[in-house]
């Protein structure tokens, strides 16, 4: 039987072909290379899978080596493809959001020819599936949409640059927007969303600003990729879902008229096992 594994900094999530799910806590070993790799190795071979897809939160090469993972320092430089081979299991290793994009296409949007998936939570990641294949670029690092600049000399981003899309459209981005609007009050993302739901004007304004930047970022991406489907997902989008109904209209208005006719905006329905589902889809579509 095949399975998909989503390797994150706090949890490793596993989704089996028959729908069985597991969630293993790994934060305690996320800085210890030896311990983390050993835990991952156990999870890979557990249940004797025939094929495994692995989605990793971090820069991952086409050969399956993690170049750098900001959230899982223990994985920097780790050759995950080699781990699979050492266990005698064939499989795929991909950046998590690229895998997630493939899952969106495979399970929910098989009619799409060019699907752009944007996941927003702690950070902002994206993936692109063209004619049923994940577009990875030359090194495997394509679609770093979170780090294209939407404001010159803007807010500081987690990558060290200023004005990146992620600096506005992420949990920390929304928290910072709110803090500025409310003259210094620090709230967590879910508290801002809760206040907005209760009618708090500052919280609602912060979400509007978040959406303004998201519209710019998505407009740039639509102009470059000309997708037929834009799928928004990730934990923060899920929380903000009731405020996002006008995103398609806003985006269509911002985008040039011709490519604007070609796409539909949708919301991911797959929740927290989204990236594991994408990794499983990669293992299932075994000619890829």
Q: Which residues bind Zn ion (CB under 5 A)?
A: 147, 157, 159, 161, 164
Q: Please state, in angstroms and rounded to a whole number, the distance separating the CA atoms of residues 245 and 204.
A: 14
Q: Cα-flanking dihedrals φ and ψ of residue 199, to 5°?
A: 100, 5
The least CB distance from residue 278 to Zn ion, in Å, is: 23
Smaller CB separation from Zn ion, 35 or 149: 149
Angle between helices 189-197 and 171-181 (to 10 degrees): 60
Answer yes or no: are the C-beta atoms of 155 and 141 closer than 8 Å: no
The least CB distance from residue 189 to Zn ion, in Å, is: 18
Smaller CB separation from Zn ion, 62 or 159: 159
Q: Please state, in angstroms and rounded to a whole number, the distance separating the CA atoms of residues 150 and 164.
A: 6
Smaller CB separation from Zn ion, 143 or 157: 157
The least CB distance from residue 224 to Zn ion, in Å, is: 17
Smaller CB separation from Zn ion, 134 or 164: 164
Strands 90-95 and 51-56: parallel
| Farthest CA pair distance, the chain | 57
Smaller CB separation from Zn ion, 158 or 215: 158
Reduce the DSSP state of residue 22 to 3 states and report it. Answer: strand
The least CB distance from residue 58 to Zn ion, in Å, is: 14
Answer yes or no: are the C-beta atoms of 71 and 58 closer than 8 Å: yes
Smaller CB separation from Zn ion, 164 or 203: 164
The least CB distance from residue 157 to Zn ion, in Å, is: 3
The least CB distance from residue 161 to Zn ion, in Å, is: 5
CB atoms within 10 A of CB 184: 7
């Amino acid at each position: 039987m095949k399975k998909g594994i989503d390797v994150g900094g706090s949890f490793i999530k596993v989704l089996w072909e028959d729908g069985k799910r597991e969630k293993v806590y790994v934060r305690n070993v996320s800085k210890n290379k030896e311990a983390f790799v050993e835990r991952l190795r156990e999870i890979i071979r557990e249940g004797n899978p025939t094929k495994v897809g692995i989605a990793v939160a971090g820069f991952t090469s086409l050969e399956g080596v993690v170049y750098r993972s900001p959230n899982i320092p223990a994985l920097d430089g780790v050759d995950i493809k080699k781990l699979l081979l050492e266990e005698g299991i064939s499989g795929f290793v991909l950046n998590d959001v690229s895998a997630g994009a493939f899952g969106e296409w495979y399970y929910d949007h098989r009619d799409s020819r060019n699907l752009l998936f944007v996941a927003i939570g702690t950070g902002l990641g994206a993936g692109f599936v063209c004619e049923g294949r994940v577009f990875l670029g030359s090194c495997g690092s394509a679609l770093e949409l979170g780090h294209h600049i939407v404001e010159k000399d803007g807010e500081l981003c987690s990558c060290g640059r200023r004005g990146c899309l992620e600096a506005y459209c992420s949990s920390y981005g929304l928290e910072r927007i709110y803090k500025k609007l409310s003259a210094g009050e620090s709230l967590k993302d879910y508290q801002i969303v809760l206040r907005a739901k209760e009618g708090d004007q500052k919280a609602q304004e912060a979400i509007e600003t978040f959406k303004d930047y998201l519209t710019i970022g998505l407009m740039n991406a639509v102009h470059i990729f000309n997708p037929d489907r834009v799928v928004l997902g990730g934990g923060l989008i899920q929380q903000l879902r009731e405020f996002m109904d006008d995103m398609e209209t806003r985006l269509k208005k911002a985008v040039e008229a011709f490519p604007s006719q070609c796409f539909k905006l949708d919301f991911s329905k797959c929740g927290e096992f989204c990236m594991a589902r994408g990794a499983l889809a990669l293992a299932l579509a075994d000619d890829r």
